[in-house]
């Protein structure tokens, strides 16, 4: 694919000899991104700089985080990529609410009160220092409204100003309808975030999710550690519904809670796995008081754009630059204990890769069709906040975005046959990717663990939820070459020992032969998506197929 200087000169001379008046009807030149700009050496240089100790782990609203954002903006400028952020800058400032719920939280019903931390944990969807929710309780099964599945757990119920009690995960698929809620795979309806969003849309004042190890796929201790201590969120959008109290309740406590409301939890659960379930009001009033300390911070998304011939529409690349920062010293630390979360793989590798793709677009011999946006998001590790804010405040209308391609982690182990793109099975982007893979002697790999819901856990997801067909590159499975088995083991070892640890550090021996091929693949795929006349679409029946029509 490398073009020689002579070849470029010849094509220029040929073009210059054609006078516009006599030129035959335009013979389309095969254009594309300048793939030969995507090289291992500059990629590694970016990666080393972005994961260095002086970036301090790139946490939002820290000097290290800002340093990383400035680095990205400077690189975009150097490449000739235009600013795509606020007021002609490369930055879109994201407001972040930091909150800590006081352990004095109480949830009580006549005859009992549930212990914070042991029985229940809670946080708020508002920024009020003191929140009080009192009201009737309605059991709403899985708390799902899914018209395309002909499923409505809120049917006929008025939950305005009340509590809803909700099961997590999807309803199971029965034998005679094996594809209900995608069978074994987790759909977004099964995620706890969806449960709270739907409860807020229904006008509830508070929502309580029932925790079981099975349905949550993790033990109560994970709920305790995740939902106590400092929480990060976006401020609620003006006029948007927000829950006063969002709570998780341990199963034993929920059994008692329901019993006091005159019902049996096992029976309620059994009734909720069938279509046609109706919400069950409990004979119970519950009251909660939550006190919290909140403060606001900001941290920027970094945005650049390579304008296309069609500037009204876009393909958007996303990749998060934030990571966990530097942790406080703890008793038992040695003076040389490493406390910096360098996040080399997660996700200095991804943003370095995105800089290379941006370079390949900026140096392309022609403009792309639709414009190419490069969005380096902040606060992904705090709950996809930068991407969520971008989806709520897009720099180009979401219904004019042809596709989103997300890079969270780039293969540093060696060449592979497969390229794994989460979301490929959901939209018309999948067949396009498959064709490209075939052309390149590669295969399109599938999500190995659809039951874990990885599609809902990185920055493409807020865009997918807004109806944008999205792909996110994931770990490959098919390493090639003589040491393929060893590379697969190395990949597992990283996940076991280095993932989200200070030891996720740059290693000069990393091999980006595979990563570079993946970046070229994504650049070419984006180019084709930008060039084709039709906008890509979600498959009929997909959860996100109607998001654009509905909004
Ligand atoms: Zn990541």
The DSSP-derived string for 409-463 is: S---S--BSEEEEETTTTBTHHHHHHHHHHHTT-EEEPPS-GGGTGGGSSTHHHH
Confidence band of 524 (pLDDT split at 50, 70, 90): very high
pLDDT at 420: 97
Token readout for 127 is 């920024």
- Between 22 and 164, the more confident residue is 164
Share of the chain above pLDDT 70, in %: 94
More confident residue, 452 or 176: 176
Which pLDDT does position 226 carry in this prediction? 80
Confidence of residue 236 (pLDDT cuts 50, 70, 90): confident
- Is a pLDDT exceeding 60 seen at residue 152? yes
pLDDT of residue 428: 97
Range of weakest confidence among 76-85, 108-117, 439-448, 514-523: 439-448
- pLDDT, residue 28, reads 53
pLDDT bracket for residue 9 (50, 70, 90): very low
CA of 227 to the centre of ligand 1 (A): 20
Q: Has residue 19 got a pLDDT over 90?
A: no
Do residues 162 and 205 make contact, with C-beta atoms less than 8 angstroms apart? Answer: yes
Could you tell me the distance, in angstroms and rounded to a whole number, from the CA of residue 551 to the centre of ligand 1?
A: 29
User: Which of these ranges, 22-36, 106-120, 477-491, has the smallest mean pLDDT?
Assistant: 22-36
**Joined tokens for residue 203:** 């006008």
How many Å lie between the centroid of ligand 1 and the Cα of residue 145? 30
| C-alpha span between 316 and 323 (Å, rounded) | 21
3-class SS string, 72-98: HHHHHHHHCCEECCHHHCCEEEEEEEE
Length of the chain: 551
Task: Give distance in angstroms: CA of 458 to centre of ligand 1.
Answer: 7
**CA 341–ligand 1 middle distance (angstroms):** 12
Q: What is residue 25's predicted lDDT score, i.e. its pLDDT?
A: 53
Q: How confident is the model at residue 205, as a pLDDT?
A: 98
pLDDT band at 549 (very low <50, low <70, confident <90, very high): low
**H or E element in which residue 517 lies:** helix 513-531
pLDDT at 544 over 50: yes
Residue 2 pLDDT greater than 50, yes or no: no
Would you state the pLDDT for residue 78? Answer: 98
Q: How far is the CA of 320 from the centre of ligand 1 (A)?
A: 7
CA distance 359 to 70: 17
Is the pLDDT at 46 greater than 90, yes or no? Answer: yes
Distance between CA atoms of residues 415 and 67, nearest Å: 32
User: Percentage of residues in the chain with pLDDT exceeding 90?
Assistant: 79
| pLDDT, position 13 | 38
Of the candidate ranges 49-58, 114-123, 216-225, the one whose mean pLDDT is the lowest: 216-225
Whole-number Å distance, alpha carbon 408 to ligand 1 midpoint, is 5
CB crowding 482-521: b at 16 or more within 10 Å, else e: eebeebbeebeebeeeeeeebebbbeeebbbebbbbbbbb
Residue 533 alpha carbon to ligand 1 centre in Å:
33
Q: Please report the pLDDT score of residue 328 as a whole number.
A: 84
229: confidence class by pLDDT, cuts 50, 70, 90: confident
For residue 15, the model assigns a pLDDT of 39
Mean pLDDT, rounded, of the chain: 92
Average pLDDT over residues 263-279: 96
Decide if pLDDT at 514 tops 90: yes
In sequence order, what are the residues at sequence separation of 6 or more whose Cβ sits closer than 8 angstroms to the Cβ of residue 464?
404, 423, 426, 455, 470, 544
Residue 329 or residue 41, greater confidence: 41
Strand partners, 123: 246
406, pLDDT greater than 70: yes
Retrieve residue 14's tokens.
């040929």
**Alpha carbon of 405 to ligand 1 centroid (Å):** 14
Task: Give me the mean pLDDT over the 247-262 stretch.
Answer: 97
Ligand 1 center to 409 CA (angstroms) = 6
CA–centroid distance, 383 to ligand 1, in Å, is 11
Cα separation, 210 vs 496, in Å, equals: 29
- CA 232 to ligand 1 center in whole angstroms: 17
pLDDT band at 10, cuts 50/70/90?
A: very low
- 477: CA distance to ligand 1 center in Å? 19
Q: What distance in Å separates the CA atoms of residue 133 and residue 112, rounded to the nearest whole number?
A: 16
Cα–ligand 1 centroid distance for 527 (angstroms):
25
Cross-strand bridge partners of residue 319: 376
pLDDT at 378 over 70: yes
User: Could you tell me the distance, in angstroms and rounded to a whole number, from the CA of residue 347 to the centre of ligand 1?
Assistant: 5
pLDDT band at residue 30 under the 50/70/90 scheme: low
Q: Which helix (H) or strand (E) holds 196?
A: helix 192-201
At 127 the pLDDT is 93
pLDDT, mean of residues 338-344: 94
């Amino acid at each position: 694919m490398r073009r020689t200087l002579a070849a470029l000169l010849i094509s220029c001379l040929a073009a210059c000899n054609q006078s516009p008046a006599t030129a035959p009807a335009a013979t389309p030149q095969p254009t594309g991104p300048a793939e030969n700009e995507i090289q291992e050496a500059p990629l590694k240089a970016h990666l080393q700089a972005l994961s260095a100790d002086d970036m301090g782990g790139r946490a939002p609203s820290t000097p290290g985080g800002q340093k990383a954002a400035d680095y990205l903006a400077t690189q975009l400028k150097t490449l000739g990529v235009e600013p795509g952020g606020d007021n002609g800058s490369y930055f879109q400032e994201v407001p972040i609410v930091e909150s800590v719920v006081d352990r004095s939280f109480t949830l009580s019903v006549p005859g009992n009160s549930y212990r914070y931390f042991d029985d229940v944990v809670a946080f708020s969807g508002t920024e009020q220092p003191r929140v009080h929710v009192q009201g009737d309780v309605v059991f709403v099964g899985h708390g799902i409204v899914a018209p395309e599945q002909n499923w409505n757990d809120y049917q006929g119920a008025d939950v305005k100003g009340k509590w809803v009690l909700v099961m997590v995960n999807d309803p199971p698929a029965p034998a005679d309808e094996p594809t209900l809620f995608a069978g074994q795979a987790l759909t977004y309806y099964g995620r706890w975030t969806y449960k709270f969003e739907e409860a807020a849309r229904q006008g509830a004042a508070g929502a309580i999710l029932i925790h079981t190890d099975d349905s949550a796929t993790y033990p109560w201790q994970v709920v305790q550690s995740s939902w106590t201590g400092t929480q990060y969120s976006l401020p609620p959008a003006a006029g948007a519904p927000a829950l006063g109290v969002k709570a998780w309740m341990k199963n034993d406590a929920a059994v008692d809670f329901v019993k006091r409301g005159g019902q049996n939890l096992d029976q309620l659960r059994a009734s909720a796995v069938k279509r046609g379930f109706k919400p069950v009001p409990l004979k119970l009033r519950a009251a909660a008081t939550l006190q919290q300390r909140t403060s606001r911070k900001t941290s920027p998304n970094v945005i650049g754009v390579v304008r296309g011939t069609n500037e009204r529409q876009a393909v958007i690349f996303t990749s998060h630059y934030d990571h966990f920062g530097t942790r406080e010293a703890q008793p038992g630390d040695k003076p040389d204990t490493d406390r910096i979360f360098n996040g080399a793989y997660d996700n200095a590798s991804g943003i370095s890769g995105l800089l290379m793709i941006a370079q390949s677009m900026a140096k392309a011999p022609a403009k792309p069709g639709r414009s190419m946006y490069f969005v380096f998001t902040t606060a992904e590790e705090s709950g996809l906040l930068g991407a969520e804010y971008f989806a709520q405040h897009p720099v180009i209308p979401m219904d004019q975005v042809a596709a989103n391609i997300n890079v969270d982690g780039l293969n540093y182990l060696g060449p592979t046959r497969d390229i794994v793109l989460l979301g490929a099975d959901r939209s018309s982007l999948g067949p396009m990717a498959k064709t490209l893979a075939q052309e390149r002697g590669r295969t399109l790999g599938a999500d190995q663990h659809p039951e874990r819901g990885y599609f809902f856990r990185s920055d493409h997801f807020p865009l997918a939820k807004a109806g944008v067909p999205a792909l996110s590159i994931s770990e490959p499975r098919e390493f090639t070459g003589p040491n393929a088995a060893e590379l697969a083991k190395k990949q597992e070892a990283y996940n076991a020992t280095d993932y989200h640890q200070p030891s996720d550090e740059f290693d000069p021996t990393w091999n980006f032969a595979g990563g570079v091929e993946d970046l070229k693949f994504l650049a070419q795929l984006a180019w084709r998506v930008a060039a084709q006349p039709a906008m890509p679409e979600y498959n009929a029946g997909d959860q996100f197929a109607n998001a654009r029509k509905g909004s």
